[in-house]
Amino acid sequence: MRLILFSALLLAILFTSCKKEEIPEPIDPTPQVETYSSVKTILESSCLGCHSPNQNAYIVDLTNYESIKNYLDGTNTMIDRLNSDDEFYRMPPSGNLSDADKQKLIDWINDGYLE
Ligand code: HEC
């Protein structure tokens, strides 16, 4: 029994001494920045039903990053529409977008809509 304990201890010491020294990760004080991949699912579930090439709002194709970036690079009403209460102006028209998801989209746009 002692021998087992002793070998276990020895192994543990061996392992820890061989472990590469880890550089501690710096603590990031800034909140997480949204990227296209982190907002994509929101667009898919709330916007693509209309904003796809074969749908009625194909004028703004939100199915891919290039197309969205192209739209946002120009004069656009995206944030305005997300924030609007006017049912004829807001997006999505149903108003069926949670505040958290809306904020994510707005943050993403304000942070420069990174890919
Ligand atoms: C039920 C269909 C529908 C859904 C869902 C929808 N839209 Fe729209 N959207 C439209 C239509 C139709 C227009 C064009 C008419 C108008 O100007 O209101 C439009 C216009 C827009 C415009 C303005 C385009 C321009 O001419 O500058 C933006 C931006 C937009 N939508 C973003 C979104 C976003 C972002 C979502 C998801 C959060 C979304 N839409 C969801 C139907 C939809």
SS3 23: coil
SS3 20: coil
Ligand 1 site residues (CB inside 6 A) read 46-47, 49-51, 56-57, 59-60, 76-78, 81, 91-93, 97
Q: Which atom of ligand 1 is nearest to the CA of 49?
A: 5
Half-sphere exposure of 107 (CA within 13 A, CB side): 13
Angle at 76 between CA 74 and CA 82, to 5 degrees: 150
Identify which has the larger pLDDT, 20 or 85. Answer: 85
Contact 80, 11 (CB under 8 A): no
Q: The pTM is what?
A: 0.80
What are the residue ranges spanned by the domains of the chain? Answer: 36-110
14-73 pLDDT tens trace: 566 656 678 887 777 766 899 999 999 999 999 999 999 999 999 999 999 999 999 999
Amino acid at 4: I
